[in-house]
Amino acid sequence: MTPPSLLPRVEEYLAYRRGLGFALETPAWLLRDFARHVDRCGHRGPLTIELATGWALSSRSADPAQPARRLAAVRQFARYLALSAPATEVPPAGLLGRVPHRRQAHIYSEAELTALLREASLLLPRRGLRPKTYVTFFSLLATTGLRLSEGCRLERSDVDLDAGVLRIRESKFRKSRLVPLHPTATDALRRYTADRDAHCGAAGRGRFFRTERCPVLTPSAVEKTFARIRRRLRWGAEGRTARPRIQDLRHYADSRIMPTVAHPVGVSPLPRPHGGP
């Protein structure tokens, strides 16, 4: 007999936590992955510390603190389960080491931001919508201080180009807010809107940022694209506080005027590692 899936309990827990005002984007992904792991194992009965630590240690991340983060997410979930299933084993805090505090943000220089946008403008297809999408998206994060998830969730109706305002709906702690735009940002978003509609049609609904192939720009897709660009630019932690991350764009020093970059066509590519795409 197939044991019941743990996924419904995970969704129940996430709904409970969101009701308290938590966004839970990363924990949600981790806990769903943990539940699928438990299902694959065919585990029966209460959760055990051995099961939780085994999954936490299976991380393929190069970050040595990732197993501790994974176990911390399961620990909170196990505490919730223990309220209705007392036999649930709750992993003790610090079992796989201390979860590090939020690291210091990398502050992008103007030269770094210019290099990032220039490389984004060279994404394929060169004459397609994708490079325009990423140049505009990265620029908007740097200009407004939006979080990655907030930029991805923007609907067309959330972008008021006449008033020069963005509406951010139910972000951190389930709060909404209005974000005013500098005129240069409004102009850039208006140009992007025209490019997007020329490639994909001017439908009244849908996400503001998209590509030809994908109607939704997801955080995971943006992270992968950013990581690819970072490798091409050979950005590491050497000489910096830490390796630049896409999240750090919101801390860009000049957060008012929309950055600009040359049109993708005719831009000379930056030096790439040998054998790179």
The answer on pLDDT for 157 being more than 60 is yes
Residues 6+ apart with CB under 8 A from 130: 123, 124, 211, 212
172 is catalytic: yes
Q: Is residue 52 within 8 Å of residue 91, measured between CB atoms?
A: yes
Number of other residues whose CB lies within 10 A of the CB of residue 133: 25
pLDDT, greater one: 17 or 79: 79
Instruction: State the Cα–Cα distance between residues 129 and 200, nearest whole angstrom.
Output: 9
pLDDT of residue 99: 80
What number is the average pLDDT over the span 195-204? Answer: 88
Q: Which pairs from 98-102 meet CB under 8 Å and 24+ separation?
A: 98/68, 99/65, 99/68, 99/69, 99/72, 100/65
pLDDT of residue 158: 96
DSSP secondary structure letter of residue 105: P
132 is catalytic: no
Q: Spot the catalytic one: 132, 147, 210, 232.
A: 147
Domain ranges of the chain: 7-82, 110-251
Confidence band for 186, pLDDT divided at 50, 70 and 90: very high
Place of tokens 């490798």: 231
Of 72-81, 203-212, 234-243, least confident by mean pLDDT is: 234-243
- Please tell me the CATH code under which domain 110-251 is placed: 1.10.443.10
pLDDT of residue 265: 31
Confidence band for 207, pLDDT divided at 50, 70 and 90: very high
Length of the chain: 277
pLDDT of residue 266: 29
Q: Spot the catalytic one: 172, 207, 228, 272.
A: 172
Percentages helix, strand, coil for the chain (3-state, rounded to 5) are 50, 5, 50
Look at the pTM and tell me if it is higher than 0.95: no
Instruction: State the Cα–Cα distance between residues 58 and 139, nearest whole angstrom.
Output: 36
Is it true that the peptide bond before 4 is cis, omega within 30 degrees of 0?
no
Buried/exposed code over 169-191 (b: 16+ C-beta within 10 A; e: otherwise) = eeeeeeeeeebebeeebbebbee
pLDDT digits 0-9 by tens, 90-102: 999 889 988 876 6
Q: Is 155 helix (H, G, I), strand (E, B) or coil?
A: strand
- Beta bridge pairs of residue 168: 177
- Beta bridge pairs of residue 167: 178
Residue type present at position 194: A
* Most confident of the following: 22-26, 64-68, 126-130: 126-130
Place of tokens 């005013």: 180
Give the chain's mean pLDDT: 84
